[in-house]
Amino acid sequence: MKKALLIKYVSDQADSKEMEQVLEWASKDVRNAEYLARLQSVWVCSNIAEKMEPRDGFEKLRYSIGVKESKRRTMHKLLRTALSSAAVILILLLTGISGWYIGKNSAVESSYSIDRAVAEQIKFRKIKPAKEFYTNKGVKARLVLPDSSVVILNSDTKISYPEEFGDELRVVNLSGEAYFDVVKNPMKPMIVHTTRGFSVKVLGTKFNVKAYEDDSKAETTLYSGEIDLIRETEIGYKYTSVAPNQTVVVSGGVMSQEPFKKIEKESPKDDIAWVQGKIIFDETPVYEVVKILGRWHGCDFVIKDNSISNVKITATFNSESLVQIMDLIQMTSLVRYTIKDKVVYLSSK
C-alpha cells in the first residue's frame, strides 16, 4: 500500500473508493491495521488544536478520522467491517489500553487485535526448539521448563521448547497430551502451540491439553487461573477465554473455521486421571477406547468388525494389565478380543 494513499485517508482527502482500498488492506493483517492506527494517531495529535469542536465519545473519534455519516451509509459491507476494526484498534492505541483482546468478558467468540509479539508468534511459530522430548507409547514423563513450570506428558506425546525463554514470551510446542502447572508471570505469557491448529495463552495456571494429531477432536480443560485459546483463520484470529473447570472442544485442524465449543463436565478432573495412573471411560466409543489403550500400553489394535466401533464403554482402570482390561470389556460388552504378536484384534460376539 502506497504511503501517499494512507496519508490521503488519515487527512480526510480520500474518496470512497480509496477509503475502501485502505480499509480492506488494513483488515487483511493486524500489522497493517496497527500501522494505519499509528499513522492516524500521529495525524490526530498534530491537528488536535484545530479540532476542538464540542464532540464526545465515538462521535469525536469518528469526526477525527473523517468518516461522515453519509459515506458510511453508502459504503460496501466490507468497508464498514474494516472501518470498525480499524476504529477499535485506534481507540485502544489512543487510550493506552491496547491488550490481549477486545471484549474479554464477552461469551461471544470474535476476531480481535492482539499484541504484536503474540500475533507474530502464533502466525510464524518463532521458536528455537533446543530441547525436545517424546514419550513413547506406554511411557509417561515429568519435566521442568526453564521458568520452573512443571509439565507432565502422557504417552505418545512430543514437546519442544528453547533452552531459555525469550524476553516477551514463553513458547512451547506440543503434540499429544500434557498437564501444565505454569508459574505465574503476567509480564511474560506462555504460548503453547499445538499441532491441531490452535494455541493456548497462559499467564499462570493449571490446565490439561489433549491434542493428538490422529484424534477426531482436541480438548483443553482448565483447573485454576485463566487461559485463552486462539487460532488463526483465513479471516483473522479467533479466541475464547476459559474459566476454571470448563472444557473447550476444538474440531478441525490448521486454519479451520470451526468454532470453539465450551462444555461443562460433571467431573472435569477425570480428564487428568491419567496423571494419577487411571484410565476412565465414560460412555466412550470403542474406536476412541482403542486409541487410548494403544497409547497407554504401547500396542496396536485392529477392529475387524465395524459394527462395534461405536459400542460405548464405561469403566475405570488403575493398575490392571491389558489382558485384565480386555477381559472386563469382553465380559461387559458385545466386544470379543484376541491378542497375537502384540496386536489386539476386536470383533463382535
CATH of the domain at 304: 3.55.50.30
Do 324 and 297 lie in one domain? The reply is yes
Q: Which domain holds residue 262?
A: 116-268
Q: Is 273 within the bounds of a domain?
A: no
Task: Please state which of the ranges 43-47, 102-106, 194-198, 240-244 shows the lowest mean pLDDT.
Answer: 102-106
268-281: pLDDT as tens digits: 888 999 999 999 99
84 and 132 fall within a common domain:
no
Same domain, 309 and 262: no
Strand blocks (E) in 145-216: 150-153, 157-161, 170-181, 190-194, 199-202, 206-211
In-domain check, residue 154: yes
Quote the number of domains for the chain: 3
pLDDT in tens, 338-349: 999 889 999 998
pTM over 0.75: no
Indicate whether 258 and 120 sit together in one domain.
yes
Q: Are residues 159 and 196 in the same domain?
A: yes
Do 228 and 141 lie in one domain? The reply is: yes
Q: Is residue 110 part of a domain?
A: no
Least confident residue range of 13-17, 132-136, 175-179, 182-186: 13-17
For residue 81, being part of any structural domain is answered with yes
pLDDT of residue 347: 95
**Average of per-residue pLDDT across 319-340:** 93
Helix residue ranges, H only, the chain: 3-10, 16-28, 30-46, 57-64, 69-74, 77-95, 116-124, 286-297, 322-332
Is residue 267 pLDDT above 80, yes or no? yes
CATH of residue 120's domain is 2.60.120.1440
Query: Residue 14 above 80 pLDDT?
Result: no
111 in a domain, yes or no?
A: no
Residue 87 confidence class, pLDDT cut points 50, 70, 90: very low
| Amino acid in the structure at residue 79 | L
Q: Which of 268, 287, 306 is the last residue of a domain?
A: 268
